[in-house]
Structure 1
Amino acid sequence: MTDTLDTATEVEWRKLSPKMLAVHPVQEVVRLLPVLVGVLFLGREGHGPTWSLIGLGLAVGFGLIRWFTTTYQVTPHHVRVRRGLVRRRVLSVPRDRVRSVDLTSHILQRVLGLSRVVIGTGRSDKHDEGVTLDALSVAEAARLREELLHQRTVAAEPATTDTAETSLAVLDRRWIRFGPFTLGGLAAVGFLAGIYGKVSSEVDLDPEKFGPLRAVVHEFNAIPLPLAIAASAVVFAVVIGLLSTIGYVVTFWNYRLTRHREGTLHVSRGLITSRSTTIEERRLRGVEVSESLLLRMVRGGRLLAITTGLRVGHGAEHGGSLLLPPAPLGEVQRVAREVYPDGAAVTCELTRHTPAARRRRHLRAYTFAAVVTGALLVLHALSGFPAWAWQVSLLLFPIGFALAEDRYRNLGHALRGRSFAVRQGSLVRRRHVLDTDGIIGVTVHESLFQRRSGLATLTVTTAAGKQHCDALDVGAQEAVDLADRAVPGLLTPFLR
C-alpha cells in the first residue's frame, strides 16, 4: 500500500486540453438553452433579457470552471480523476478493472482536434458512465487508450497502425442499400412530429395557412379513402426509407474494424460524430448475429460482441458492442468467424425443437387473435361498434399462423465443443454463440403450461452482454442434459 501511495504522489496530475475552453461553454449554453429562452420570453415585460444574459454568463462560467478544476492521473496501478471547486471529488479506478476505452468526437470537437474519452470499468449499471475525460487532444486520447488497454506507455508521436493493426472489415458503399431496412428513420419522424406538435400548440400553427400544404390536404380530401390511405402509406414508407438511409450514412460512414497485435479489436465509425471503441479479445465471450424481419428479406444482418465491460441498453447503433453494421449476411458470418475463435459455431446446424414447442406458439397466436376478435364482437353487439372492426380482426388468424410458424422455425440450439449456440425470434431473429467458459450459472424454468407440454426454458447466465441467453421451449430432460454438458460438474450435486 505504501509503495502504491508513494508512486501515486510521484506521478504528475495532467490537465485536459485547453481547447476544451472553446467547447464546454458552448455545451453548457446548449444544455441550458430551454431555460434561457424561457426566462427571456416569460420575463419580457420585466427583466427577462437581463436574467437571460446572467444565465448565459453563468453557463459560460461553469464551462470554464470545469477545465480549471479537472485533472487526471495515470499510475502503474490506478487511474484517478480529480474534479470540483467547492466539493472536491477524486474518482480512482484500478487499472486491472479497465475493460474498454471509448473515444467520441462531435462536430465541434473534431474541428478542434479533441476527443471525449470514456474508460469502461465493466459495471453493468446503465447509469454508470465510467471514467470520463472530456476532452483530450486526439493524439493524447490515442496514447491513453494504448497505455490502458495494452499496458504500456507509448511515445509522444503515435505509432503507425499499418503493422500494428490488421483490417478485418471496412464499410462497403454497397451496404448503404440496407439502410432503408433498418427503420432508423422512425425515431427521426417521431422526433419531428413531437417538435411540430409542441410548436403548433404554442404558436397556433395551422396547416391551412400554408399554400403548398393546403393544396396537398385538399387533394387528399378529394380522393377516395382507400386510395388516400394507400398513398399515405407509400409516402410514409418513402420518408422512413430516406431518413433511415441518411441515418445509416451518418452513423456508419468511415466504419472500420481492425485487430491490434496486442490482442484488441478496434471499431471506428461516424460521419458527423466519430466514435472509436476498443475491446480486449480476452474479454470476448461470444457474438450475436441479429437479423430484423426487414433485413432478413434482403439477406442482411448485423454483428454484435458479447463481452464484459461494455454497457448495454443503448441500442445497437449507439452502444459500444456493435462489430459490424447492417451488411450482407455472408459478410456478417465471415466477420463473426474472424472474431470468434470457434467460427464454425456461427453457421453450424442447430437442433430443432420438439413439435410441442410448435403447438405452444400456435396456441398463443390463436388465443390472442380470438381474444381481440371476441372483444370486438361483444362491443359490436352491445354498443353498436362498427362491424368492419371484428371482420378485419379475422386477419389476425392467418397472420398469427405465419408468425407462429416463423417463430418455431427460428428456434434452435447446439452445443459444439466449447461453444453454446441458441437462436430465437421472428421480428428480430437473434443467434447467440457463447463460449461455455463464460457461463457462470444455469437456470431451468418451467411454467405451468410448459410442464403440461414437457418443455422448459434453459437460461445460461454470463457476466458479458445482456448477462443471459435463453433456449426457449426445450424438452425438460434435454434442457437438464444440455446444461450439464455445457458446464460439466455444475449440476452434479443436483443430479443422480
Structure 2
Amino acid sequence: MNPPPAPEPGAPEVPWHRVHPVSPLVRGWLAVVAIAFVYGQNTLSSFFGEEEPSRGPDFVSGAPLLVSLLIGGGILLLILLGFFGSWWFTKYQITERHVNVNSGMVFRQQRQARIDRVQSIDIAQPLVARIFGLAELRFDVADSGSAAMNLAFVKLSEAHELRNSILARAAGLQATNDSPPPLAPAGEQGPAGGQSPEPGQMADARFPPADAAPRGPRAASERVVASVPLGRLVGSILLRPSTVFMLLGLIGLAIAMSNIEGFAPFYLLPALLGMAGALWNNLNTGYNFKAATSADGLRVGYGLLDTRHQTVPPGRVQAIKVSAPFFWRPMGWYKVAVNVAGIGGGAANDAEQRSVLLPVGTYEDVLAVLSVVLPSPGVEAPREFFAAAINGSGTAHGFVVSPPRIRPLALLAYRRQGYALTDTALVARNGALHRTIAIVPHARTQGLSLRQGPLARRMGVVDLALATIPGPVVPVVRQLDIDAGRDLFLEQADRAAAARKQTDSNHWLGDA
C-alpha cells in the first residue's frame, strides 16, 4: 500500500471529505435483500411450516423464534456496522493538481488521478441512487484503461459542482470568480447562439463562445443542440441491420422447425429473450438522449432506469465516425461515434455506449455535434463538404477516390471510397450500402501504415490505415492507387507532425 500523497511544499492543506452516508447501502442493497429473504424464508418455514395435528398449543415455541430473530438482528447489525466502516474509511480530496480517493476498511486502497490528465467525467445514477438523489462520478484518465477512478456516492448537485470544477482545472482555466460570465445576447452572436464563425469553421456552430468557460464550481451554461425523440429511437432500433437480420432469422427458424414433429414455440424462448435483451439495452441507453454544448465540451445525457451524464472535451476526441446504415438512409438518419482516450479500455458494452455522441439523428443534428467536437473542419463550405462526404461519390469537394480498375473488387463502392484532406483533418469515406466517414484530426494521428494483400498488389492499389486509440472508429483509406497512397502517407505524416507541435495535449480550452 502506497502512503498518502504528501502536500506540495508551501501549499495550504486541502481538507478531506466523506461520501454520502447512504453510499454503502446503495452499493450493497441487493446483498442485504438477498440475505434477508433467504434467512427470513428459512426462519418462517421452520416455525410456521406444517403443523402436527396431534400436538396442542406450544407456548414454549416462542423462545426459539425469539433466538432466531435475535440472530437475524445480530447479522443485520454486523452488516450495518460494515456499511458504517466502509463509509467512514472512504474519503476524497481535490487539490490543485490531483484527485485523491481513499477507501477500504480492511484492505486499504488509495487512488490518485492527475487533474490535467482527466479525459472526461461521467455522472451516473443507478436506479437506487436516483431514489436517494445521489450520483457517482466516474473519471476517465489518460492511460488508465479499465482502471478509471470512481467516486460513489455524493449528492447530485455536489456531483455536478465537482465535475465542473475539475474539468475547468483540467482545461487549464483558473477559478477567478464564482460564476461563469453570461452568454452574449443572441443578436451579437452567430445564427445559432455562438460567435460568428471565421472561414474554415463550422458554418452553423451552435455552442457558447470560449469566454463563457466556467470560472468556478458552478455549472457551465448548456445549450441543447440535438435530442432523440422516442419515436425516432424506436424506429431506428427496429430498422437496425442487426434487428432486421435477427427477426428474419427467427422467422426462418420458426418456419423450418415447425415441420419437425414435437416442435413447440417454447423452444424459441431463449432466442427471443436474447433478442429482447439487446433491444432493451438499445432503448435504455438511447432514451431521453440529449446532447448539449457547454464551455467544457459536449455534454451527453441518456438513460431510462439508470441515467448517465457524461462530458466529452473536444480537445480529447481522437477520431470521429458518422455512419448511415442502409435501412436508415430513406429516413435521413445518421449515427455519430468517437474514439476518446480512456474509454476504449473498459468493458466492451460500456465503452461502446459511452463512445456514442448521437445514437440516431438528422443531418442537422450531425452538423451540430460536429460543430462541437470538430469546431474547425478546415474547409470553406463545411455543410456541402460533409454532405458530399457522407452521401456523395466521385471527386467533388477535393475527394480522391479509388482507380476504376479496382471495380471487380468493389463493384458498388469503388467510386465512393476515398479521402479528402482539409486544413485540420483527414476524412476517409467508405461503404456503398452502409455508408461511413472517419474523421481524424491531423494532431491526433498517432501512426500510419500501408497495407497490401495479394489481390491489391496485383491491382496496384494499397490501403492506408491511421493508428488511433481503441474505439468504434477504425480509420482506413481503402484501395488507393499505389503512388497516391505513398504520397498521402508522406504528406499526412508531415501534417500530423506540424499539427502536434501547435497543440497542447493537457490544456484543451485555455492557458494555465
Report the secondary structure of 1:150's partner residue: helix
Query: Is residue 462 of structure 2 the alignment partner of residue 456 of structure 1?
Result: yes
From the superposition, tell whether residues 445 and 184 of structure 1 become closer, same or farther in structure 2 (CA, over 3 Å).
closer
Report the secondary structure of 2:305's partner residue: coil
- C-alpha contact (below 8 Å) 2:92/2:100 kept by paired residues: yes
Q: Which moved more, 1:172-181 or 1:473-482?
A: 172-181
From the superposition, tell whether residues 167 and 490 of structure 1 become closer, same or farther in structure 2 (CA, over 3 Å).
closer
Counterparts of 1:340-419 in structure 2, within 5 Å, are 340-341=374-375, 342=377, 343-344=382-383, 345-349=385-389, 350-361=399-410, 405-408=411-414, 411-419=417-425
Report the secondary structure of 1:11's partner residue: coil
From the superposition, tell whether residues 472 and 85 of structure 1 become closer, same or farther in structure 2 (CA, over 3 Å).
same
* Alignment partner, residue 163 of structure 2: 145
The whole-number CA distance in structure 1 between the counterparts of 2:459 and 2:255 is: 53
- C-alpha contact (below 8 Å) 1:7/1:75 kept by paired residues: no
User: What is the Cα deviation at residue 436 of structure 1?
Assistant: 1.1
From the superposition, tell whether residues 81 and 116 of structure 1 become closer, same or farther in structure 2 (CA, over 3 Å).
same
The whole-number CA distance in structure 1 between the counterparts of 2:292 and 2:472 is: 24
* Alignment partner, residue 21 of structure 2: 18
- C-alpha contact (below 8 Å) 1:289/1:303 kept by paired residues: yes
* Alignment partner, residue 196 of structure 1: none
Counterparts of 1:430-469 in structure 2, within 5 Å, are 430-463=436-469, 465=471, 469=475
From the superposition, tell whether residues 168 and 187 of structure 1 become closer, same or farther in structure 2 (CA, over 3 Å).
same
- C-alpha contact (below 8 Å) 1:439/1:460 kept by paired residues: yes
- C-alpha contact (below 8 Å) 2:442/2:495 kept by paired residues: no
- C-alpha contact (below 8 Å) 1:301/1:327 kept by paired residues: yes
Q: Which amino acid aligns with 2:357?
A: L
The whole-number CA distance in structure 2 between the counterparts of 1:29 and 1:454 is: 66
Q: Which amino acid aligns with 1:171?
A: V
1:389-415 deviation line (CA, Å, top 9, x unaligned): xxxxxxxxxxxxxxxx34545522211
Q: Which moved more, 1:436-445 or 1:62-71?
A: 62-71
The whole-number CA distance in structure 2 between the counterparts of 1:141 and 1:254 is: 20
Counterparts of 1:302-341 in structure 2, within 5 Å, are 302-311=335-344, 314-315=348-349, 318-337=352-371, 339-341=373-375
User: What TM-score do you get using the length of structure 1 for normalisation?
Assistant: 0.67
- C-alpha contact (below 8 Å) 1:120/1:309 kept by paired residues: yes
Report the secondary structure of 1:319's partner residue: helix
* Alignment partner, residue 254 of structure 1: 288
1:330-372 deviation line (CA, Å, top 9, x unaligned): 53345324542214553345432123433235xxxxxxxxxxx
The whole-number CA distance in structure 2 between the counterparts of 1:330 and 1:236 is: 40
* Alignment partner, residue 151 of structure 2: 133
User: What is the Cα deviation at residue 276 of structure 1?
Assistant: 0.5
User: What is the Cα deviation at residue 465 of structure 1?
Assistant: 4.5
* Percent pairwise identity: 20
- C-alpha contact (below 8 Å) 1:185/1:247 kept by paired residues: no
Which one of the candidate residues 137, 141, 149 is aligned to 1:117?
137
User: What is the Cα deviation at residue 437 of structure 1?
Assistant: 1.8
- C-alpha contact (below 8 Å) 2:401/2:480 kept by paired residues: no
Report the secondary structure of 1:179's partner residue: helix
Counterparts of 1:53-92 in structure 2, within 5 Å, are 63-92=83-112
Which one of the candidate residues 224, 232, 238 is aligned to 1:180?
238
* Alignment partner, residue 116 of structure 2: 96
Q: Which amino acid aligns with 2:419?
A: H
1:159-179 deviation line (CA, Å, top 9, x unaligned): 466xx2222112334423223
Q: Which amino acid aligns with 2:340?
A: T
User: What is the Cα deviation at residue 104 of structure 1?
Assistant: 0.7
From the superposition, tell whether residues 469 and 7 of structure 1 become closer, same or farther in structure 2 (CA, over 3 Å).
same
1:8-51 deviation line (CA, Å, top 9, x unaligned): 7x111111111214312214458x88xx89xx9xxx9xxxx999
Higher relative contact order (CA 8 A, sep 6+): 2
* Alignment partner, residue 476 of structure 2: 470
The whole-number CA distance in structure 1 between the counterparts of 2:82 and 2:245 is: 32
User: What TM-score do you get using the length of structure 2 for normalisation?
Assistant: 0.65
1:205-234 deviation line (CA, Å, top 9, x unaligned): xxxxxxxxxxxxxx9899879xx99x99xx
User: What is the Cα deviation at residue 70 of structure 1?
Assistant: 1.3
Report the secondary structure of 1:360's partner residue: coil
Higher helix proportion (structure 1 or 2) = 1
The whole-number CA distance in structure 1 between the counterparts of 2:245 and 2:99 is: 37
Q: Which moved more, 1:166-175 or 1:477-486?
A: 166-175
Query: Is residue 486 of structure 2 the alignment partner of residue 486 of structure 1?
Result: no
Number of residue pairs aligned between Structure 1 and Structure 2 = 400
- C-alpha contact (below 8 Å) 1:423/1:432 kept by paired residues: yes
The whole-number CA distance in structure 2 between the counterparts of 1:166 and 1:114 is: 24
* Alignment partner, residue 4 of structure 1: 8
- C-alpha contact (below 8 Å) 1:458/1:472 kept by paired residues: yes
* Alignment partner, residue 126 of structure 2: 106
Q: Which amino acid aligns with 1:95?
A: I
Q: Which moved more, 1:250-259 or 1:422-431?
A: 422-431
The whole-number CA distance in structure 1 between the counterparts of 2:444 and 2:229 is: 33
- C-alpha contact (below 8 Å) 2:99/2:115 kept by paired residues: yes
* RMSD over aligned Cα atoms: 4.6
Report the secondary structure of 2:22's partner residue: helix
Q: Which amino acid aligns with 1:436?
A: H
User: What is the Cα deviation at residue 449 of structure 1?
Assistant: 3.1
The whole-number CA distance in structure 1 between the counterparts of 2:257 and 2:373 is: 58
User: What is the Cα deviation at residue 251 of structure 1?
Assistant: 2.2
1:237-270 deviation line (CA, Å, top 9, x unaligned): 999998777555432232221111x342111111
User: What is the Cα deviation at residue 77 of structure 1?
Assistant: 1.1
User: What is the Cα deviation at residue 150 of structure 1?
Assistant: 0.9
User: What is the Cα deviation at residue 4 of structure 1?
Assistant: 1.3
Which ranges of structure 1 fall in alignment gaps of 5 or more residues? 194-218, 362-404
Report the secondary structure of 2:130's partner residue: helix
Q: Which amino acid aligns with 1:254?
A: N
User: What is the Cα deviation at residue 486 of structure 1?
Assistant: 2.3
